[in-house]
Amino acid sequence: MRHSDICILTPIKCRPSMVQTVTFPPSMASAKVTDVKRDVFDTSQGELNYLTSDQGVKISDTDNWLKVSDGTHVGPHLLEDQLGREKIMHFDHERIPERVVHARGTGAYGYFKVYDDRASKYTYAPVLTDPSRKTPVFVRFSTVQGSRGSADTVRDVRGFATKFYTQEGNWDIVGNNIPVFFIQESIKFPDFVHAVKPEPNNEVPQGQSAHNNFWDFVGLQPESAHMVMWVMSDRGIPRSFRMMQGFGVNTYTLHKPGGEQFFVKFHWIPELGVHSLVWDEALKISGQDPDFHRKDLYEAIENGAFPKWTLCIQAIPASKEHDFDFDILDATKLWPEELVPLEEIGELVLDRAPEEFFPEVEQVAFCTSNVVPGIGFSDDPLLQGRNFSYLDTQLSRLGVNWQELPINRPICPVLNHQRDGQMRHRITAGTVNYWPNRQEIFPPVPPKQGGYYTYPSKIEGIKERIRGEKFQEHYNQPQLFFNSLAPYEKKHLIDAISFELDHCDDPVVYQTYTKVLNCVDFELAKKVASNIGSIIPDKPGRENRGKSSKSLSQLYYAPKNPTIVERRIAILVADGFNLDEVHAVRSALESADARTFIIGPRRGEIHPSGAGRDAQGIEADHHFEGQRSTLFDALYIPSGQHINQLAKNGRVVQYVREAFGHCKSIGASGIAIAFLRDIVGLPGVEFQHEDSSDVTTSYGVVTTGKLDVKSASTHISRIEHDSK
């Protein structure tokens, strides 16, 4: 419900009745493997409703340590108290190392289903080709830079990691909400992460890249220019996880035995369209509600507005690998859709929140090396390194038996000769734990019977530390991206880079980065340089070739069927508001499945106009200080004598001005129009006359003199339509 081009109306029409929940009981279906507790996700605890120790002994007192007392004097603790020691010892060891990157995250369960078998021309993986399958998934969204306790709405890349529990084993797409990456080579990753993370001397800053070391690194590393443009664009501050695209980023392969191999990129397109916060709003939400994104995800799921994405692939036959002016294995480049169109394959739906954060979201472990038959790797040098790194990190984070944790277990049988190690849970009966063995226990499976098939490829060459020739070009695609943005998107990007470089106090850093920007676009470099006090370039560092690609702007993903489902709308009231209008607007909004919140001078009952103190009023969900305008998508102010009070309240005036500045839709009727016009003073806005029942929309401000049930719903559907 924002005006202008930053529409945040969303197209979801996904009611609970349309979506079945997939039950998800990873079990170890094998006669030879004994799993101590099969239904690992059974959290009902049976009929138990009492406290026990970890050994199952019922506890009579969990509040007092065992002590010696003579009735008047209470002596010191006894070491003997096995229950006290167990409780404290467990607590002492509650923390595990947080992820070295992507530490802050949120996850949810759901399912994936392909539309039909159209991908069978590329692969024989049933998860991508069998429409009768409903594959359970777990998705974890994350930020990259900040630690576990950092805020959700910081400017950063968002992780979008999906684990598919297929019948052939687990397949992970460990992706981001941006299609390219900062570096081409995995060996640079520790340098990149050290540069972006808080600086080593003082551990500053948290949850942002606005500091010398990050900009120093990317200034000396022009291959990062493309990704920097994306992160500084509105993509770096999504409105919701539900409104982000996802990208596998790396180039994978699909194949069928005997068929041609295809290079592929995976894309997730959100049904709701791609929407962002504005920067001022993101900054404020970081303080006002640091859990904004995780709450948004869980509330939407709880309300049955299940987030949905379409899985698309781009495929290039292996024979055409070298037909492009960029290297298709270079993760700092995307494949423009004009050259390689997207094919819609299937649908991902998230319909269940985790029940306990730690064993589900914190312990989930993704690995790019988790693939199933029919899906393979490419020689993308970033992917090659990732395949090593993720397994390695899970070993140090969760231990060698990380794959036995409930959230990481495949739903198909796991049978092999791996054994022992810390925290081994599985008990495998039998006398042999090696292959070959005389009993032929757990033999390998030939590809024809489902064994993993590695597509044969010829490799020859000279062993050396080298990158491909086309990897040397770094500026075409950042320029393509910049040229493809709408004017307001370009402005946001310039403002964001100016903000970040303003936080760098070393002139070497911001002057070097000005030169990088000048190789992307002359005007961009001049504007940023002038904002941050850098040396303003007098000629372009490189010609702008004027190429653009329509799918790079967020506008391209405007929802097909706009809707206000799950949008948060604040209705501002004080004593003396017009009750009929509030009922009318509320019921119109709620019948469109939006969420309304009454915001008043206090939490509790607010009395309508013309009513005595005892008359039935309306309960305010929050007071003006409790929930600021930043936490809502739109505001409505009804008419009534309450306007006198609202007009005297600086917080309310600021509330409305701020919402307008953040491009949100604002509705008002009757005397509230005068409040907007004369007190709040929204610049440039045209208002409807207070006596007219016509509706005027100007800069997203919707006003009408008289509002009733009928006009309220016409009004809402008009806003939905206009916001396309």
Write out the binding residues for heme: 390
Distance of CA 423 to the CA centre of its chain: 32
Q: What are phi and psi of 693, to 5 degrees?
A: -95, 5
Q: What is the rounded distance in angstroms from the CA atom of residue 231 to the CA atom of residue 182?
A: 10
Q: Are 162 and 172 in contact (CB under 8 A)?
A: yes
403 binds ligand HDE (CB under 6 A): no
Q: Are 372 and 167 in contact (CB under 8 A)?
A: no
Q: Are 243 and 10 in contact (CB under 8 A)?
A: yes
366 binds ligand HDE (CB under 6 A): yes
Q: What is the rounded distance in angstroms from the CA atom of residue 145 to the CA atom of residue 103?
A: 8
| 195 three-state secondary structure | helix
Q: Which stretch binds ligand HDE (CB under 6 A): 173-181, 214-222, 235-243, 662-670?
A: 173-181
264 binds ligand HDE (CB under 6 A): no
Sign, CA torsion 377/328/217/530 = negative
Min separation Cβ 406 and ligand HDE, Å: 16
Q: What is the rounded distance in angstroms from the CA atom of residue 303 to the CA atom of residue 311?
A: 24
181 binds ligand HDE (CB under 6 A): yes
140 binds ligand HDE (CB under 6 A): yes
702 binds ligand HDE (CB under 6 A): no
Nearer to ligand HDE, 105 or 705 (CB): 105
Q: What are phi and psi of 616, to 5 degrees?
A: -65, 120
Give 618's strand partners.
606
Min separation Cβ 140 and ligand HDE, Å: 4
Q: What is the rounded distance in angstroms from the CA atom of residue 624 to the CA atom of residue 649?
A: 10
105 binds ligand HDE (CB under 6 A): yes
Min separation Cβ 364 and ligand HDE, Å: 6
Residue from 99, 239, 255, 275 touching ligand HDE (CB under 6 A): that is 99
Nearer to ligand HDE, 288 or 369 (CB): 369
Min separation Cβ 142 and ligand HDE, Å: 5
393 binds ligand HDE (CB under 6 A): yes
175 binds ligand HDE (CB under 6 A): yes
**Residue 538 CB-half CA count within 13 A:** 0
Angle between helices 487-502 and 279-288 (to 10 degrees): 60
Residue from 205, 304, 359, 385 touching ligand HDE (CB under 6 A): that is 385
Q: Is 102 a catalytic site residue? A: yes
Min separation Cβ 486 and ligand HDE, Å: 26
Binding mask 182-221 toward ligand HDE (x if CB under 6 A, else -) reads ----x--x--------------------------------
Q: Are 263 and 321 in contact (CB under 8 A)?
A: yes
Contact partners, residue 536, CB within 8 Å, separation at least 6: 526, 529, 530
102 binds ligand HDE (CB under 6 A): yes
Q: Residue 486, exposed/middle/buried by CB under 10 A (0-12, 13-18, 19+)?
A: middle
Q: Which residue out of 3, 170, 176, 293 is catalytically annotated? A: 176
Give residue number: closest CB to ligand HDE: 159
Q: Which stretch binds ligand HDE (CB under 6 A): 49-57, 175-183, 334-342, 496-504?
A: 175-183
Count residues binding ligand HDE (CB under 6 A): 26
Q: Which stretch binds ligand HDE (CB under 6 A): 118-126, 380-388, 617-625, 709-717?
A: 380-388
Q: Which residue out of 102, 267, 275, 715 is catalytically annotated? A: 102
Nearer to ligand HDE, 395 or 486 (CB): 395
227 binds ligand HDE (CB under 6 A): no
Q: Are 229 and 223 in contact (CB under 8 A)?
A: no
Nearer to ligand HDE, 269 or 532 (CB): 269
SS3 content of the chain, % helix, strand, coil (to 5): 30, 20, 50
Q: What is the rounded distance in angstroms from the CA atom of residue 297 to the CA atom of residue 300?
A: 5
| 53 three-state secondary structure | coil
Q: How many residues would you count in the chain?
A: 724
Sign, CA torsion 495/498/502/504 = positive
Q: Which stretch binds ligand HDE (CB under 6 A): 93-101, 204-212, 278-286, 290-298?
A: 93-101
Q: Which stretch binds ligand HDE (CB under 6 A): 99-107, 450-458, 504-512, 679-687?
A: 99-107
146 binds ligand HDE (CB under 6 A): no
Q: Are 391 and 369 in contact (CB under 8 A)?
A: yes
Min separation Cβ 705 and ligand HDE, Å: 51
Q: Is 212 a catalytic site residue? A: no
Q: Which stretch binds ligand HDE (CB under 6 A): 45-53, 101-109, 198-206, 430-438?
A: 101-109
Q: How many CB atoms lie within 10 A of CB 86?
A: 15
249 binds ligand HDE (CB under 6 A): yes
Secondary element (H or E) of residue 128: helix 126-129
161 binds ligand HDE (CB under 6 A): yes
Q: Where are the beta strands (DSSP E) in 353-391?
A: 375-377
Which residues are annotated binding-site positions? 390
Nearer to ligand HDE, 109 or 655 (CB): 109
Min separation Cβ 316 and ligand HDE, Å: 18
Residue from 126, 159, 600, 667 touching ligand HDE (CB under 6 A): that is 159
389 binds ligand HDE (CB under 6 A): yes
390 binds ligand HDE (CB under 6 A): yes
Nearer to ligand HDE, 172 or 271 (CB): 172
| 225 three-state secondary structure | helix
Look up residue 286 and give its amino acid. Answer: S
Contact partners, residue 358, CB within 8 Å, separation at least 6: none
Q: What is the rounded distance in angstroms from the CA atom of residue 207 to the CA atom of residue 96?
A: 20
Min separation Cβ 61 and ligand HDE, Å: 40
Angle (CA) 474 476 481, round 5°: 110
164 binds ligand HDE (CB under 6 A): no
| 264 three-state secondary structure | strand
Min separation Cβ 594 and ligand HDE, Å: 31
Q: Are 474 and 226 in contact (CB under 8 A)?
A: yes
Q: Are 709 and 584 in contact (CB under 8 A)?
A: yes
- Picking from 691, 713, 714, 722, the residue whose alpha carbon sits closest to that of residue 704 is 691
Binding mask 321-340 toward ligand HDE (x if CB under 6 A, else -) reads ----------x---------
Q: Which stretch binds ligand HDE (CB under 6 A): 28-36, 97-105, 285-293, 501-509?
A: 97-105
Min separation Cβ 405 and ligand HDE, Å: 13
Q: What is the rounded distance in angstroms from the CA atom of residue 310 to the CA atom of residue 295?
A: 23
Nearer to ligand HDE, 30 or 206 (CB): 206
Q: What is the rounded distance in angstroms from the CA atom of residue 305 to the CA atom of residue 99?
A: 30
Residue from 264, 382, 552, 582 touching ligand HDE (CB under 6 A): that is 382
101 binds ligand HDE (CB under 6 A): yes
176 binds ligand HDE (CB under 6 A): yes
Nearer to ligand HDE, 105 or 700 (CB): 105
Q: Which residues are catalytic?
A: 102, 176
Residues that bind ligand HDE (CB under 6 A): 99-102, 105, 140, 142, 159, 161, 174-176, 181, 186, 189, 249-250, 331, 365-366, 382, 385-386, 389-390, 393
